Amino acid sequence: MRRKVIAGNWKMNMLPNEAIEYIEAFTPLVKDSKAEVILCVPYTDLFYCLMNVQGTNIKIGAQNMHFEEKGAYTGEVSGQMLKSIGVEYVIIGHSERRQYFNETDESVNKKIKAAFANELKPIVCVGEKLEEREAGKAESVVTTQVKLDLEGLTKDQVKSTIIAYEPIWAIGTGKTATSEDANNMIKTIRKQVAELFGSDVAEEVIIQYGGSVKSSNAKELFTTSDIDGGLVGGASLKPDEFSKIVNYND
């Protein structure tokens, strides 16, 4: 049985003092969670969060990284830098980065490889736009992203990759994909992984759903056959609400 992994994506929110208060409130609420719990926080919060989750079951991730190790890339942060302070996870290819910061499948692929070179576990986001869904192209868009993003990875690397299926029209809009649609797309992604890397890899790879997940729909989404947890934006900003998502099965 695959484990459930539930990650919060704080995006560009939370000052260090707010992050510390959050973790203080959140830790006791999720201490008995059966799901793996990750908080993906802004760079400026990483160190504070890492210090404050010591001895808890909460893991910390970044929201992006550069694929080069070091050099003249003003304003960028490398995988080696993240690893050096104890970060475990990194979101790669979030649709907001694809949309506003020219992230492409090629750079996503390079970043995933650089993450593994630094022993970071990538959470790789894929998902279609509304126009693509309406034109009946959702599956081909998403399977192409999966193919290009994971190209050249080893089987073991894919097994420890987390894929987050996030239909762009569902992010931050309050519109959630139905659990049936989300589960079907995730089955399609799993099939694509099986074709590319083998069915053993497809059986193991964690595939999350993201896009307006909240405490009122988490259980329905996460108890389907193929959805292995979620990547949660807005609803991860409140410790109480996010803990209800993490503890969806209670």
Identity of the residue, 115 or 201, whose beta carbon is nearer to ligand PGA in the bound complex: 115
The neighbour count for residue 219, using CB atoms within 10 Å, is 15
Which are the contacts of 51, defined by CB distance < 8 A and separation ≥ 6? none
Does the annotation count 66 as an active-site position?
Answer: no
Please report whether residue 229 would count as binding ligand PGA according to CB under 6 A. no
Please report whether residue 213 would count as binding ligand PGA according to CB under 6 A. yes
Binding ligand PGA (rule: CB under 6 A), the pick from 232, 239, 244, 248 is: 232
Identity of the residue, 54 or 102, whose beta carbon is nearer to ligand PGA in the bound complex: 102
Q: How far is the CB of 67 from ligand PGA (least distance, A)?
A: 21
- What is the token pair recorded at 100? 């506003």
**Considering CB under 6 A, how many residues would be counted as binding ligand PGA?**
13
Which parts of 150-169 interact with ligand PGA (CB under 6 A)? Answer: 166
The single residue of 36, 66, 94, 103 carrying the catalytic annotation is 94
Binding ligand PGA (rule: CB under 6 A), the pick from 93, 211, 229, 239 is: 211
Which of 238, 239, 241 minimizes the C-alpha distance to 218? 241
Q: How far is the CB of 55 from ligand PGA (least distance, A)?
A: 27
Does the annotation count 166 as an active-site position?
Answer: yes
Q: How far is the CB of 17 from ligand PGA (least distance, A)?
A: 23
Binding ligand PGA (rule: CB under 6 A), the pick from 167, 229, 233, 239 is: 233
| Residues constituting the chain | 250
Give backbone dihedrals phi and psi of 11, rounded to 5 degrees, phi first.
Answer: 55, -145
Where does this chain touch ligand PGA (CB under 6 A) — which range of 25-33, 152-160, 197-205, 227-235? 227-235
Where does this chain touch ligand PGA (CB under 6 A) — which range of 18-26, 142-150, 154-162, 232-240? 232-240
Please report whether residue 58 would count as binding ligand PGA according to CB under 6 A. no
Which parts of 5-24 interact with ligand PGA (CB under 6 A)? Answer: 9
Angle, CA 158 vertex, CA 202 and CA 218 arms, to 5°: 65
Q: Which position's Cβ is nearest ligand PGA?
A: 233
Active site residues per annotation: 94, 166
Interacting residues toward ligand PGA by CB under 6 A: 9, 166, 171-172, 210-213, 231-235
